[in-house]
Structure 1
Amino acid sequence: MAHQIFIDTQTQQWINIELFPGTQILPLAEPVPQSSIHKLRMAADTVIPVHYHPYDEYVYAVPLRGSKLRVVFPLGEG
Structure 2
Amino acid sequence: INQYHSYVYDFQTNGEWQTVTIPLAKMYPSFRGRKLNIPNFNHSQLEEIAFLIGNKKAESFELMIDKVELK
Fold shared by both chains (TM-score > 0.5): no
TM-score, length basis structure 1: 0.27
